[in-house]
Every structure is written in C-alpha cells, then in structure tokens.
Amino acid sequence: MKRNILITGGAGFIGSHVVRLFVTKYPDYHIINLDKLTYAGNLANLKDIENAPNYTFIREDICNYDAIKEIFKQYDINGVIHLAAESHVDRSIKDPFIFAKTNVLGTISLLQAAKDSWNGNYEGKLFYHISTDEVYGALQFDGTLFTEETKYDPHSPYSASKASSDHFVRAFHDTYGLPTIITNCSNNYGPYQFPEKLIPLFINNIRHGKPLPVYGKGENVRDWLYVVDHARAIDLIFHKGKIADNYNIGGFNEWKNIDLIKVIIKTVDKLLGNPVGTSDHLITYVTDRAGHDLRYAIDSTKLKNELGWEPSLQFEEGIEKTVRWYLDNQEWMDNITSGEYEKYYDEMYRNR
C-alpha cells in the first residue's frame, strides 16, 4: 500500500463520504476508519464499501491514547484525516464537558500519537485536521466573509472546543515540527446526515406532518456546501495542500434559515406529489438559541486560486438530490430515529 491513512469519525456524516471517496479512488491506499460509534456514527453509511480489501474499521475512542498509539504502530499510519468530533451546538450548550473532552483532549491524543509514532521522521506524513467556520464567530449583514486571516471569536461551547483543538494542531507544528494542515468548512448538507441537523430533520418532519421549529425569526444566515464537494476538497488538500497552512472550504451559497426552510418545504412537497403550499403551516417559531450567531459566510478564494477547487453543484440541484435521497431511504432514516442502530452496535461489539 502506498499510504496507510487513519480517518477518524469515518462512520459519521462527512467522514463516511471521505472514507468512501478514498477507499474507491485509491485502491492502493489502506484506509483505517476509526469511530467510537456514538449516536452520530452509523456503519450503515458505509455498507457499499465495508468489504473492500483496502478498508478496515476499528471501534475506538480517540481519547484512549494507549489504544490510538497501538493503532499507529500496528497499521504503520502515515497520514491522518481527523474528523471525529462532537458537533451539535445545542448539545454543547447542555453538556460542554463532553465537547471539551472529545474535541480538545481527543485531538491532543491523536497529535501526541502521531508525534510519538513518527518520531521526527515527517517525510510523507500529514496530520490533517478538519474544523468549522464557527470558530470565527459571527458576521454582520455587510457583505464581509470569513477568510483564513479572520481572528477567532467562538461564541458557543462547541465552537470554543473546535477553536481550542485548532490551536493545539498549530502548536504541535510550531513546537515539534509535526506536518499539519487545518481546514475550516461551512455548513454541510447531503445524504447520511444525522437527523438532528436542520435539513434532514425538516425533511423527515414534513414527511410525517410534524412541526418545523425555527429559531427566532429564521433570519440567521448560513453558507451551505454539498458534502460530496467537501470530500473532494479534503482529497485535494490532503494531497496538494501546503504544510502548516489553513484553507477555508465554503459553498459561496448563503441562505437565511427561513428561506432555506421554504425551499425544503417546496422540494419535499413536490417530490411527494403534494400541492404547492401543503406543508407551509408546519413552520413553528421557537425561542432563539442562546448565543446564536447571526451570519456565517466563507471565502474559498484561496482554495480555488491555489488548488483549483470550487463547488460542483448549484444549491437547488444539491437540495433536490438531498431530499430525494432521504425520501428514497426511509429505512435508513427510520432506523436512525428509532435508535435501533445504537443498540445493535452495542450488542455486536459487546460480544467481541
């Protein structure tokens, strides 16, 4: 094998798309998918490649340093793509400790294992850390965008934990010379996203005629990126990105939440054969989230100019593909919302 790449969080939403891309595109790479299989990790996301000869799955916690160090040794890891993270803002408000543990201490565990394993022999090695645009804080409605030079200003326990992990990644490069790259991405959407997130949650609620809870007046703005385009960017940056640099990955695709929701309603109703406006009454305004950032918008110009990446899909095309996928995969969605998949994995791994 040319490369032995450890992908953390590879059973999650973005991670599963990255794992699938690397396993299928690089048959001479050995892809080791490490995932704790918390509520957001589901091996059903990778059914199509689970028996590939260049793919290995390991259930483990990134905070377990001794286990991580042994994995580096056993599989001769020479590349890391680190996606494993707690990522839901509402959950971070309720329990910031788990976010600090996983996102900060888990990242340190991986960094230390890479440093110890590679032991200064950094040629051909890379620790690639995936972060979020939320570390930059919030923008006003003035046309400004987050760039790679934007000062960090996190406002939630989630974004604070990711900002901290970014700082540790940079510190390991500056202190030990560890070859690192960091990317900060905008909101992703597409197949296999856990249905606590806005788009799959609302698709499922519309299907069942349930309320669509909108924070505040729905005026918060987010930049949306199709997850397959994000995976393409990760592939490109992993192979051609500049060591010790950082890149923003965004869709140049800003939407107010309420406008996005109306597009989702219109698309779901159309694909279900419902008359226009059938599900509009499901919109329900709720108390705004604490510390809810007003606007995020990513400037991906650097990535485009230096490495030639840009989004491949217009949003309307991407959202229709996404809605159609969730409607065509009811069994996957029902299995997730019932929680049966968690019980299955707990029982399966308990007996090993």
What are the residue numbers of the active site? 133-134, 158
Distance of CA 31 to the CA centre of its chain: 18
Reduced to 3 states, what is the DSSP secondary structure of residue 33? strand
Q: How far apart are CA 157 and CA 179, in angstroms?
A: 28
From the CB of residue 142, how many other CB atoms can be counted at a distance below 10 Å?
6
- Three-class HEC string of 166-192: HHHHHHHHHHHCCCEEEEEECEEECCC
- Determine the angle formed by the axes of helices 315-328 and 330-338, rounding to 10 degrees: 70
**Closest C-alpha to 247, from 144, 111, 129, 167:** 129
Distance separating alpha carbons of residues 305 and 308, to the nearest angstrom: 6
Under DSSP, is residue 58 helix (H, G, I), strand (E, B) or coil?
strand
Question: For the residues of 59-112, what is the DSSP string, one character each?
Answer: E--TT-HHHHHHHHHHHT--EEEE------HHHHHH-HHHHIIIIIIHHHHHHH
